[in-house]
Structure 1
């Protein structure tokens, strides 16, 4: 028990007050609950504060040439300082936890604004998909082969990219690349965001329907209900601040992905 507190601060007998302060600053920063990922961080933080308070209050004094850290665990003075030190350490730990919770609450308040934007955007997407789609008479301006890079150098032909008068569409490879003569092209698009869903092409007396390979509705349409499910968990089910913050971060990444797909296709 003689050098218990010195061991906590990783010091040797005879350590000066300056060395005690330096060790305290270094270890309290290392094991601070807001920084350390160690599950025992809070407990270690309290021990470090207790050791620092005891050594600075009961340990060496200015002008005292003989420095002794001996103490008797049964001594009333030791018990008094131990109690005060632990109370002080617990207050600091509670204050650190309070500051962390306040920071999380502040971040979540900001996210609530973003969540409102996400809800409105996805409601508009849902409405855009459910409302009757509109037909647009178009001219085919260009058809070209679309390649996808596989590995570092290999390019594989995977798509037919078609540019119409007012739309750009992508189809599965070889679906329309050979089309040279056509009589009429009618693009079917959503009414709000004008996302092309399919096209009817009349050629040689036949009408063929070609569907957009993928866009925010085709292939990636599952993201819309996923957004609503995640928001329900965030708003009504999760209660712990840490869990809500984790879900909020996931929601932001999901929304960014949605926006990328929305403007790309």
Structure 2
């Protein structure tokens, strides 16, 4: 299934794509794509619904983040061997974890607004993982059983804030609008292998990132095993799993960063496309 949330920001309704790609309204069956709806039992109830029995959503509504009421937004850094190489960073021994504020989360096609004083805002196409059932001390062998599905995430990053304002990376990752998520949540049964997905990101029509999840240092299963050994993962928690090479920070001889009016477009195989225009905070 491809599950969608659509409508005005803060008032999104749940939806589902039918076999032809038409958006259907699920609000007669569930309140949101969140919480227990993401469990195996909750998703099985949605699978039992004939999409053609659902009302078609007319027009072209705004598409919101594909998960509502996100609990934890966990991010894994330097998780692609080819990205680590382009930045000159050592391969980490364990997954590098930081958090992105939930207030950064926006829809996949909403504007990305650079904060005041930003000079180094960068792009990062990433595979997002949505937890569906509670995970605590799980092994990598059964870790994927706890996944509701997958989505596209743009882990937008302000590199000066991230590295020069003292402290953790969170400062450069949590600015408002820095977490476009969606367009839809693709349930795990439709993703045969999360370690075999192609991805790309364009800026103003120029291909900047080309990669594949096969070059991840730590697989999705290994990440879930590691994180669930540190904290309980709950339904609706989101993990974004790192980015392939081609970020602005890594461009030689001089890094290239986003500016007002730039357009980012990004895609992951089977998970859809995002498109954002860059603006500036007033």
Question: What TM-score range do you get, normalising by the shorter chain?
Answer: under 0.3
| Highest RCO, 1 vs 2 (Cα 8 Å, sep ≥ 6) | 2
TM-score, normalised on structure 2? 0.18
The TM-score, its normalising length taken from structure 1, stands at: 0.19
Computing the radius of gyration from Cα coordinates, the structure with the larger value is 1
Q: Which has the higher strand share?
A: 2
